[in-house]
Homo-oligomer: A and B are copies of this chain.
């Protein structure tokens, strides 16, 4: 809409969180909030909140704070959540099916229109009323229906080729659950959800914490470092 200065990715990643907290406040019938109060709730500095919001405009008022409903709706507009988006799921396995069954997406305006798979046992079935088609029909479907987002929940080996096709046929973005980094043209947007990576970082942090704890014990009482036991027994 406006060309202005570029918004940093760090800010964009925080927007949905603001949106969520403001939604909660709205539900609690809180009409106004200051950056300081929000700061306490969200564990972010008030300064950062003000600066983040100011990237998009001056939504607050000195001596008053921010009007919750107004700010909520502004962020909604900024995120583009004031319209509907068509999505397709490519790969009807566990995760694909779980996402189709997850009805909260629809409440936000993200509508899953179709599922595609290669498995003959799935093709023709419906999941929550949404039909599973043969992947062979995908080209035609995408060319005839405006598909905003393709959700990729397929095996590593197949993801690369499918992504290339999807890009060619005209989806705007991909939400990628496959455990690979997709190679797509610059004008196609990819958001990765690498679950295993996320779990691995959690494991790293757990180990780090437990080794620190051992060190502290060690330093504090002069005892030898307690070994971390292997849990598989």
Contacts and interface: CB of A to CB of B under 8 A. Distances in A.
A92 to B, nearest CB: 12
Chain A contact residues: helix, strand, loop or mixed: helix
Nearest to A190: B202
A168 interface: no
Taking each of A98, A179, A181, which has the highest tally of chain B beta carbons within 10 Å of its own beta carbon? A98
Contact of A199 (B42, B105, B196): B105
A130 interface: no
A51 interface: no
The quantity of this chain's copies bound in the complex is: 2
Contacts of A232: 83-84, 86, 111
A6 to B, nearest CB: 9
A215 B42 CA distance: 36
B231 A202 contact: no
Contact of A200 (B81, B98, B209): B81
A194 interface: yes
Nearest to A233: B146
Interface string A80-108: 11011110000000110111011011001
A211 B2 CA distance: 8
Contacts of A223: none
Contacts of A187: 209, 213
Which has the most chain B C-beta neighbours within 10 Å: A17, A104, A194, A196?
Answer: A196
Contact of A108 (B172, B194, B196): B196
Contacts of A230: 83-84
A140 interface: no
Given A197-B17, A198-B175, A98 B105 contact: no
A149 B204 CA distance: 12
Given A17-B197, A85-B231, A94-B97, A202 B149 contact: yes
23 contacts: A3-B212, A15-B204, A16-B197, A16-B200, A17-B197, A79-B204, A80-B207, A81-B200, A84-B230, A84-B231, A86-B231, A94-B97, A94-B101, A94-B102, A98-B98, A102-B195, A108-B200, A146-B231, A149-B202, A149-B206, A175-B199, A187-B209, A191-B202
